[in-house]
Chain A
Amino acid sequence: SQKIEQNSEALNIQEGKTATLTCNYTNYSPAYLQWYRQDPGRGPVFLLLIRENEKEKRKERLKVTFDTTLKQSLFHITASQPADSATYLCALEGGGYQKVTFGIGTKLQVIP
């Protein structure tokens, strides 16, 4: 069955450092991979989308890579700030009208 794995343990990093979150998947051939941010008690907020034929995408301090051979996406936040503390979810979509499948998320804590 399709499976998405994110490090469910919290990731603690020092302010100013680069945070790297991992999303691995099996039994899936996604057309798109998305990253969302979720704060406690709120709905997820879309951050970035990367397509299967793209290797890397950037948006301000965010960078996403997508390796369809390794079946892995890495999500980087450079120059991290305490305000970046949240849970980050990866989501895969098979394209067409297929449903979006979410990982369980990784909680990031940026320590001042």
Chain B
Amino acid sequence: KAGVTQTPRYLIKTRGQQVTLSCSPISGHRSVSWYQQTPGQGLQFLFEYFSETQRNKGNFPGRFSGRQFSNSRSEMNVSTLELGDSALYLCASSGTGGENEQFFGPGTRLTVL
């Protein structure tokens, strides 16, 4: 099976712009979670989608939003970018069996100038 893929891998934006990141989960996985990772804060949970519905949400401002499509692919959007949004954004998918483990993609490195 192909792993979780994320596009783009690297992105440079300026303050005030918006960005959309994409994640394709492992085939058959219906749950997709998004995380922000920075050196000081570690992995911070953004939100989780399951069957096109947001199932959980972290403590991030409304500038961060997401959605999931019927094929389980997910996108997250950040509007009005701030310098502090520079981070590695990771997407993870999980299935309904197994040990509840999450399978992570390689991440998108976002730099806000």
List of B residues within 8 angstroms of A68 by Cβ: none
B100 is an interface residue with CB less than 8 A from chain A: yes
List of B residues within 8 angstroms of A45 by Cβ: 104
List of B residues within 8 angstroms of A16 by Cβ: none
**Least Cβ distance of A76 to chain B in Å?**
19
Main secondary structure of the interface of B (DSSP, over half): strand
Q: B104, A102: Cβ atoms under 8 Å?
A: no
Measured CA separation A1–B99 after assembly (Å): 26
Instruction: Output the nearest chain B residue to A104 by Cβ-Cβ distance.
Output: B42
Q: A100, B102: Cβ atoms under 8 Å?
A: yes
Residues A43 and B106 in contact in the complex (CB < 8 Å), given A49-B100, A97-B55: yes
**Least Cβ distance of B57 to chain A in Å?**
8
Size bin of chain B's contact surface:
20 to 34
Q: A49, B101: Cβ atoms under 8 Å?
A: yes
A34 is an interface residue with CB less than 8 A from chain B: yes
List of A residues within 8 angstroms of B70 by Cβ: none
Q: Of A41, A43, A100, which one neighbours B105 at CB under 8 angstroms?
A: A43
Q: B50, A100: Cβ atoms under 8 Å?
A: no
Q: B106, A46: Cβ atoms under 8 Å?
A: no
- Among B43, B105, B107, the most chain A Cβ lie within 10 Å of the Cβ of B43
A98 is an interface residue with CB less than 8 A from chain B: yes
Q: A105, B42: Cβ atoms under 8 Å?
A: yes
Q: A100, B107: Cβ atoms under 8 Å?
A: no
Measured CA separation A92–B99 after assembly (Å): 13
Instruction: Output the nearest chain B residue to A105 by Cβ-Cβ distance.
Output: B42
Q: Of B56, B104, B106, which one neighbours A99 at CB under 8 angstroms?
A: B56
Q: Of B4, B43, B48, B99, which one neighbours A102 at CB under 8 angstroms?
A: B43
Measured CA separation A102–B38 after assembly (Å): 12
**Least Cβ distance of A96 to chain B in Å?**
10
Measured CA separation A36–B107 after assembly (Å): 15
Measured CA separation A42–B105 after assembly (Å): 8
| A contact residues vs B (CB 8 Å cutoff) | 32, 34, 41-46, 49, 89, 93, 97-105
With A43-B107, A99-B48, A102-B35 known, 5 other A-B pairs at CB within 8 A are: A42-B106, A43-B105, A97-B55, A100-B102, A105-B42
